[in-house]
Amino acid sequence: MKLPLTSLMICSLAVAAGCAGNPNSSLARQCENGLSIAYKELDFAKAKGVDGTVEYSKAAGLLTAAKVQFEFGKYPNCIDKVDRARAFIARSRTGG
């Protein structure tokens, strides 16, 4: 009985791995570069003392979610979250 269950688990893992995006694609690079830039902007905003704003908190949450999307190969979702986070960071610096 263990053999079919083990086979089913292995097949499930193979399918799940196949769903991940290509880590060498332009979307993956765009996501990774966007995350790097956005985290630098977030650090700069924190240094300027805007880390208590709602926009800063939203941006931090979106970047955390974007990093998860990146790890799972969901690069378009990652890029969307990075873009939205960067907009919140920009608003946090301008006060609104």
Instruction: Return averaged pLDDT per consecutive 10 residues of the chain, 96 residues in all.
Output: 47 46 93 98 91 90 98 97 96 79
Which pLDDT value is given to residue 15? 40
pTM here is 0.75
With DSSP H G I counted as helix, E B as strand and the rest as coil, what are the percentages for the chain, rounded to 5? 80, 0, 20
pLDDT at 1: 44
CB 86 within 8 A of CB 41: yes
What is the reported pLDDT for 78?
98
Residue type for position 39: Y
Give the model's pLDDT for residue 52: 77
Predicted pLDDT at 96: 63
